[in-house]
Structure 1
Amino acid sequence: MKYVALFAVLLLSLSSLDGAATEVADLAATSADAQIRLQQVQRIGQVEHDAHSTPLGRYAFQPGNQPQIVIAPTNGVWNGSGQGVLQVQVQNAMPWALTLVIDIDSGNAGQRLHAVAGLPAGPAQTLVVPLRATSPRAFGMQAGPPMPFDDRGHAVFVATTVEGAIDATQVHAVRLSMPAPQATQQLLLGKVDITADDTALQDAYRGIVDQWGQYTRGHWPEKVDSDAALRSAHAQESRLLQAQLSERRGLDAYGGRQDITLTRTGWFHTEKANGRWWLVTPEGHAFFSLGVNAVTSHDTRTYVQGREFMFVDLPPDQLPWSTFYGSSDSRDAERGASAGIGGNHGRWFDFYAANLYRVDGAEWLSAWRKRTLGRMQAWGFNTLGNWSDDALGKLHRVAYTLPIYIDGDFGNVSSGFDYWGRMPDPFDPRFAQAVERAVTNATASSRDDPWLLGYFADNELAWAGQGPQGRWGLAMGTLHGEARSAAKQAFIAVLQKKYGTAAKLADAWGIALADWSALNATNFPAPEPNEAHPAIAEDYSAWLRRYADQYFTLVAAAIHRHDPHHLFLGGRFAVNTPEAVASCAKYCDVISFNVYADLPQHGVDLDAAHKLDKPVLITEFHFGSDDRGPFGKGVVSVWNEAQRGEAYARFVQAAANDPAIVGTHWFEYVDQPVTGRLLDGENSHIGLVGITDISFGGFVDAVRKANLGVDH
């Protein structure tokens, strides 16, 4: 067994350190103060030094499941009471990024803090691990700033995500490991400090946004450093757009293909011709919907209250900038998307709208609408997707869609996947009343507008749960709910009609059920389907279909009653079940899916859609990278900006090649704020344009080429 120093005995209470760093060990030296077990790790060579003359020891992590360095106290346990951070001098000695896992074990119940650091190749840096659980969500955003960052000439890598918990008075071991390297990987490790001062974590987020809403520590072609540069970039693009708009040919007024003539009705509708589904324009031409979601000027607000330290030169809350300040509250205990998000209420600032003002002055909104519609057409888009500015559609330059939000004081059911909230209970009479109100309001001003493509109802409802048995989540959640639940009472009535007695149901399901009142109890432990009792899956499947039928038939009837002209475009499935999709196919004109995958065929069961013989609309997809400011890379990420365009072209052409797919809608128009949007802290680079409203030229060029070249 080889021993090298990692930790000296840690008997000092952190509360006595008064914020000063205290050297714990030096990994370039040897000591008996702490013992180390090297598991598939070797110490190599003599002491080395980095550019700052810091001594470092070289360690080789061998191929294996999880080579690791396990550090334990020589005597007893370490007492690290209080809070603080662990600091390690480290250098990735390989020409590629390495993943280092840091685990701290404590207590008698297997307590552990867990952090992962993706160490880039390059010079030595200080790795900082907070000794408490934290995450970017606690700072109000879903993805944290890239690491390392420069702190007065020194590279600092803060583990912004730390999971778990420890008893700081009973630290048993620290583990440094790599997950399953395929070849030997080398790290240089040096001095280890511990401090009660955890300002490094806040420093990781300090001053990360400039006055234009851009990430301060990054550089990219579209970034501006003055208002003059901002206006110059817009003027240059304006000239290009005029040239591109003059190239539009072969399309009818609505963007339909004049070379494919179908039935003319005066309204958008669906039609199947020669084995292929189409959307059809009011003039009777084939229309493949190329859309963009959230084409709006007010979806980029970010909270500043309580996070002022993150912003550099934040505009003063006085005219003209006070126009772009406001306040709201995004706290929602029942919405999983909001879980753990800090800085989620109070004063916000809208950098995007402020930049539009910088470009066009007091008339910025009308100028933005004109410019945006010009972009849509020049870039080959023909549809305004969900959540877009209502006024854009009314200008009648591209087709538009409208959402129907069904809100109200009606019951709900948990499917186990409540990211956007629990499922509405369509069996509650108050739900039907809410549908009537919502549809009445949504159709009032658009029912006679031929430019309206159609309506969506809700978005990404929780039709299924999570895990291998997720398909049955809504059925199990219905039975698990409160006795007063209308859905639960309806499900029990179905089971009573089928089985007659509780004993027959108990036998079919293989459960103990003394009488029907036991099933009616709140928190009834609904059984998971299993091979020994196929009746469970059969009954759950029938209920899922009935649930979906109840929802879709109510919404469809209301839409067609108030607006007989326009399409019901479905519910924008994120999670779904075969039963819900089949019900949507029966009652909706189009089945809509939000698909986050490299290709639509990898995110949707298109074979099932073909059997249902119904058109499919892909209502969300995107590809993100982290080289244009915002920290997140979206749901589906690529390595860099150039690959975003390549991925877009592949996806859209693959969609157009499928005879059931009638369009694709990109999510979304503008990049999300660096510090996270109000709703849930999302902060990804997934836009066509940035926070300055400057388009991402290379990506947009690839998008335009793909849109104009779509081949069916």
Structure 2
Amino acid sequence: MKTITLFAGAVLGVLSFDSTAADIADLAISSASAKVQLQQVQRIGQVERDAHGTPLQRYAFQPVSQPQIVITSAAGSWNWAGQGALQIQVQNAMPWAVTLEVNVDGAAGQHLRAVVGLPAGPAQALVIPLHATSPRAFGMQAGPPMPFEDRASAVFVATTVEGAIDLAQVREVRLSMPAPQAVQQLLLGKMETSAGDSVLQDAYRNIVDQWGQYTRGHWPEKIDSDAALRSAHAQEQQRLLAQLAERHVLDAYGGRQNIALTRTGWFHTQKANGRWWLVTPDGHAFFSLGINTVTAADTRTYVQGREYMFADLPPDQSPWSAFYGSSDSRDAERGASAGIGANNGRWFDFYAANLYRLDGSNGLPDWRKRTLDRLQAWGFNTLGNWSDDALGKLHRVAYTLPIYINGEFGNVSSGFDYWGRMPDPFDPRFVQAVEHAVANAAASSHDDPWLLGYFADNELAWAGQGPQGRWGLAMGTLCGEARSAAKQAFIATLKKKYGAASKLASAWGITLGDWSALDATNFPAPEPNAAHPAIAEDYSAWLRHYADQYFSVVAAAMHRHDPHHLFLGGRFAVNTPEAVAACAQYCDVISFNVYADLPQHGVDLNAIHKLDKPVLITEFHFGSYDRGPFGKGVVSVWAEEQRGAAYARFVQAAASDPAIVGTHWFEYVDQPVTGRLIDGENSHIGLVGVTDIPFAGFVDAVQKANLGLRY
């Protein structure tokens, strides 16, 4: 830590919160070069000291919109050039976590901003990097929990900092709280700067052990030796044998023998007594309880360029060399990958390495048997998307297959391009790509009765963002280049309806000299508004035409190559009424990835009931951050103990709706602590951890919910 004196023409040094100079009334700091204003913040009592004897002053932040302490330079600005971090000694004096916002302001409106949740407990060094940073820059979507212990002292590093600033002209530091509901007290001590980024890197140093577990955390399933790993699995095997013996009486495919429906020899859908069902080949009602990504090949994480994060990385030599590999960088055009560092080169697969530790060279066959035993014991009957193909071929549970439609065809931006732009279904090359993709997917499974059906693509960008997001795909189509097949198809529909460009211009309230004006790249497509209802009408018609084209092309290819199996839809993450209606027309099932506390809060089921089509929830989960990985998933709970109850509520709510025919959890294995290859996701959302040990309390609750569902 570098301490520098604070005089005119010099750079920042120590600003001590414990000064008692009489000439600065009720201010926290007295210095020849710094002044402090307390805005709705009260200084309380005398100087206190922490366990290390460090002086601290108590401050009470009042319950107003933005109470803050403002520290300004008496000389107008400080020169912090060459400094890497700002450090403040702080202690949360409340029995709960407190949100503190730190702003460092410079010239011309420049500033850096960090928002941290300070936990209750002893004093700690709060470190704010003096540049923009985030866990994404380190290759992961969520950073390690704070604080961490560094040489017997607690250090809280703000791993996310936004903004930019000229460090040669720093004008003030503001410590504030966003609208506290009651008085919040903090103890504040010395503030200083330091050179370099070592503290930020220390936040990520040695965070993963040789088994891929988070080193700084503790939880019941965490192991500390290979012997402990084998012992945990041996104990689980005994439990599995007992659980399998208690399974309910089902047909060979997992259908309910007490609900007899039409027998066709293939999975199909049927509505009976006002309720939709999936039906097994043997003719019994089947509520699909599935898990996505049941595979041993989706847990790789990049190690190249961040070897310091791994405390005991196995050597790149036999037998561990089998679990190393390398990949090209992530797709920088995808929103999911934007800003992700450590995005290429050498990776390591901790999960696969742990399977080797457990089962040796027979790891994969043993894993497959153990995994299917678990799924059946826990009440699951379906392998969800992206699962190991070999598991389905073992014919113990139903399985699904993805259709990946890739190729050199046109695309359209809807404004929400997280996984990429929308495929242009009007491009003849798209039709060719669909034919190729469907033929490949159906080649080995078209006559397999254990196949539930196919998904086409995943989470396509059917809508944009914001209040006008519904119209994003229509507006994006008009904004495209003249050579866009979708754009020309849209223009053709407008010409057919309006005839003259002047009529379109009048209906939309725009200036349009002639039809050729629409060909312009980045044509300023108008947003729908109340004064010109024709815009929304035309956009809606186009969205339906676009979705009809996409789903009809895929459905036709599927029926040619596999007339037996179900078309399970496109796994909507964002959607429009037009896209859902088109899916209902051409697909056997409408599939939604629903990240909400209940299905009813993520899907407009009233609209679905009017369409009279079955629905499959193809992704949902509940995560927490107390089992290793730092992320809590899309929908989180406070602690591991709450995940099971959340699962039970969700699945029972789904089973209670007459249109919903199943739920698929995302996903089987926890994501790597340091992030998966594709986008750096690193959440605790699995049924098992990186050591392939199930999270016992959670899976017990899942099993109870699955076996006790009421329809």
Which TM-score bucket, shorter chain as reference? over 0.9
> Who is 2:539 aligned against?
540
The residue aligned with 2:24 is none
Q: Residue 627 of structure 1 contacts residue 641 of structure 1 at CA under 8 Å; is this kept in 2?
A: yes
The answer for the alignment partner of 2:249 in structure 1 is: 250
Is residue 15 of structure 2 the alignment partner of residue 25 of structure 1? yes
Could you say which residue in structure 2 is the equivalent of 1:61? 61
| Counterpart residue identity of residue 73, structure 1 | S
Match of 2:26 in 1: none
Question: Matches of 1:308 and 1:501 in 2, distance apart?
Answer: 65
1:204 maps to amino acid? A
Paired with 2:559 and 2:196, the residues of 1 have a C-alpha distance of 63
SS at 2:580 equivalent: helix
CA contact (8 A) 1:625 1:639 kept: yes
Deviation at 1:483, TM superposition (A): 1.0
**1:141 aligned partner:** 140
| Residue aligning to 2:499 | 500
Match of 2:386 in 1: 387
Alignment match, 1:17: none
Deviations 1:138-193 (A, max 9, x none): 00000000000000100000000000111212222211100110100000000011
Q: Counterparts of 1:158 and 1:622 in 2: how far apart (Å)? A: 29
Residue 667 of structure 2 corresponds to which residue in structure 1? 668
Amino acid at match of 2:44: I
- Inter-partner Cα distance in structure 1 for 2:307 and 2:145: 20
The aligned residue for residue 657 of structure 1 is: 656
Output the CA distance in 2 between the equivalents of 1:437 and 1:350. 31
* TM-score between both structures, scaled by the size of structure 2: 0.97
Query: Which residue in 2 is equivalent to 1:307?
Result: 306
The corresponding residue for 1:298 is 297
Measured in 2, the distance between the counterparts of 1:229 and 1:9 equals: 59
Q: For residues 180 and 10 of structure 1, do their structure 2 counterparts lie closer, same or farther at Cα, with a shift above 3 Å needed?
A: farther
The one-character-per-residue Cα deviations of 1:610-656 (angstroms, maximum 9, x if unpaired) are: 00000000000000000000000000000001100000000000000
Counterpart of 1:280, as a letter, is: V
Task: Assess if the C-alpha contact under 8 Å between 1:7 and 1:34 holds in 2.
Answer: no
SS at 2:125 equivalent: strand
Q: What is the CA distance between 1:8 and its match in structure 2?
A: 4.4
1:525 to 1:372, Cα distance in 2 relative to 1, 3 A:
same
What are the Cα deviations for residues 100-144 of structure 1, in whole angstroms up to 9, with x where unaligned?
A: 000111121x11111011100000000000000000000000000
Match of 2:429 in 1: 430
TM-score normalised by structure 1 residue count: 0.97
Does the CA contact (< 8 Å) of 2:330 and 2:677 recur in 1?
no
**2:397 alignment partner in structure 1:** 398
Letter in 2 for 1:666: W
Quote the residue 1:16 is aligned against: none
Tell me the residue number matched to 1:3. Answer: none
Once the two structures are TM-superposed, the CA of residue 529 in structure 1 deviates from its matched residue by 0.4
Matched ranges for 1:538-617 at <5 A? 538-617=537-616
Retained in 2: the 8 A contact 1:7–1:25? no
**Alpha-carbon contact 2:8-2:75 (below 8 Å) kept:** no
* Post-superposition offset of 1:198: 1.8
Instruction: Give the Cα separation in 2 of the matches to 1:336 and 1:320.
Output: 37
Displacement after TM superposition at 1:23 (Å): 3.9
- Give distance in 1, aligned partners of 2:337 and 2:196: 29
How far apart are the structure 2 equivalents of 1:141 and 1:220? 22
Q: Which residue of 2 aligns with 1:103?
A: 103
Which secondary structure does the structure 2 equivalent of 1:381 belong to? coil
Q: After superposition, give the CA deviation of every residue in 1:175-227 in whole Å (9 maximum; x if it has no partner).
A: 11001101000000000110112200000000000000000000000000000
* Aligned partners of 2:330 and 2:679 also within 8 Å: no
Give, in whole Å, the separation in 2 of the partners of 1:11 and 1:233.
64
Contact 1:7-1:73 within 8 A present in 2 as well: no
Q: Distance in 2 between matches of 1:415 and 1:7?
A: 54
4+ runs of 1 displaced by more than 4 Å? 6-11
Partner Cα separation in structure 1 for residue 206 and residue 290 of structure 2: 36
Q: Secondary structure at the match of 1:190?
A: strand
Tell me which moved more, 190-199 or 543-552.
190-199
The offset of 1:28, in angstroms, is 1.7
The alpha carbon displacement at 1:83 in A equals: 4.2
Paired residues of 1:9 and 1:73 also in contact (CA < 8 A): no
Q: Is the CA contact (8 Å cut-off) linking 1:90 and 1:187 kept in structure 2?
A: yes
Residues 388, 551 of structure 1: alpha-carbon distance in 2 compared, 3 angstrom cutoff? same
Instruction: Show the counterpart of 1:376.
Output: 375
Aligned-partner Cα distance in 2 for 1:172–1:317: 50
Distance 1:596 1:10 in 2: 55
Work out the CA distance in 2 between the residues paired with 1:278 and 1:208: 47
> What is the alpha-carbon distance in structure 2 between the residues aligned to residue 564 and residue 370 of structure 1?
31
**Residues 34-433 of structure 1: matches in 2 within 5 Å?**
34-108=34-108, 110-433=109-432
User: Deviation string for 1:11-58 (max 9, x for gaps)?
Assistant: 445xxxxxxxx7421112241431112111011110000000000000
**What is the deviation of 1:232?**
0.3
Q: How far 1:249 moved relative to its partner?
A: 2.4
Q: Give, in angstroms, the shift of residue 577 of structure 1.
A: 0.2
Distance 1:508 1:81 in 2: 58
Report the 3-state secondary structure (helix = DSSP H, G, I; strand = E; otherwise coil) of the residue aligned with 1:188. Answer: strand
The CA deviation at 1:10 is 7.8
Q: Distance in 2 between matches of 1:534 and 1:77?
A: 54
1:9–1:34 contact (8 Å) kept in structure 2? no
Determine helix, strand or coil for the equivalent of 1:583: helix
Letter in 1 for 2:96: W
Count, aligned residues: 698
Q: Which one-letter code corresponds to 2:84 in the other structure? A: G
Please list the CA deviations of residues 450-471 of structure 1 after superposition, one character each: whole Å capped at 9, or x if unmatched.
Answer: 0000000000000000000000
Q: Tell me if the contact between 1:137 and 1:342 (Cα under 8 Å) persists in the aligned partners.
A: yes
Which segments of 5 or more consecutive residues in structure 1 lack a partner in the other structure?
A: 1-5, 14-21
CA displacement, residues 512-553 of structure 1 (integer Å, 9 cap, x when unaligned) = 111111111001011100000000000000000000000000
Paired residues for 1:7-26 under 5 Å:
8=6, 11-12=9-10, 23-26=13-16
Secondary structure of 1:51's aligned partner: coil
Shift, 1:7, TM fit? 10
Which amino acid in 1 is paired with 2:576?
Answer: T
Instruction: Give the direction of change, closer, same or farther, for the CA distance of 1:7–1:642 in structure 2 (3 Å limit).
Output: farther
CA displacement 1:439-490 (0-9 Å, x = unmatched): 0000000000000000000000000000000000000000001111000010
Given that 1:690 and 1:696 are in contact with CA atoms closer than 8 Å, whether structure 2 keeps it comes out as yes
Whether 2:627 is the aligned partner of 1:637: answer no
Report the residue type matching 1:289 in the other structure. Answer: S
How far apart are 1:333 and its partner, in Å?
A: 2.3
Q: Which residue of 1 aligns with 2:460?
A: 461
Q: Is the 8 A contact 1:460 1:572 kept in 2?
A: yes
Mapped contact 1:334–1:422 kept (Cα < 8 A): no
Q: Per-residue displacement from partner, 1:279-326 (whole Å, max 9, x unpaired)?
A: 000000000000000000010000000010000110000110000000
State the identity %.
Answer: 81
Counterpart amino acid of 1:336?
G
Q: Which amino acid aligns with 1:267?
A: W
Partners of 2:633 and 2:492 lie apart in 1 by 44
Question: How far apart, CA to CA, are the structure 1 residues paired with 2:266 and 2:17?
Answer: 73
Matches of 2:580 and 2:352, distance apart in 1: 39
Taking a change above 3 Å as real, the CA distance of residues 176 and 8 of structure 1, as seen in their structure-2 partners, is farther
Structure 2: where are the runs of 5+ without partners? 20-28
Give, in angstroms, the shift of residue 502 of structure 1.
Answer: 1.1
Aligned partner of residue 155 in structure 2, secondary structure: strand
Q: Alpha-carbon deviation of 1:331?
A: 2.2
1:639-697, Cα deviation, whole Å (9 max, x unpaired): 00110000000000000000000000000000000000000000000000000000000
Find the residue that maps to 1:84 and give its secondary structure: strand
CA contact (8 A) 1:23 1:191 kept: no
What is the identity, as a one-letter code, of the residue corresponding to 2:194? T
The answer to whether the 8 Å contact 2:83/2:193 transfers is: no
1:355 Cα shift?
A: 0.1
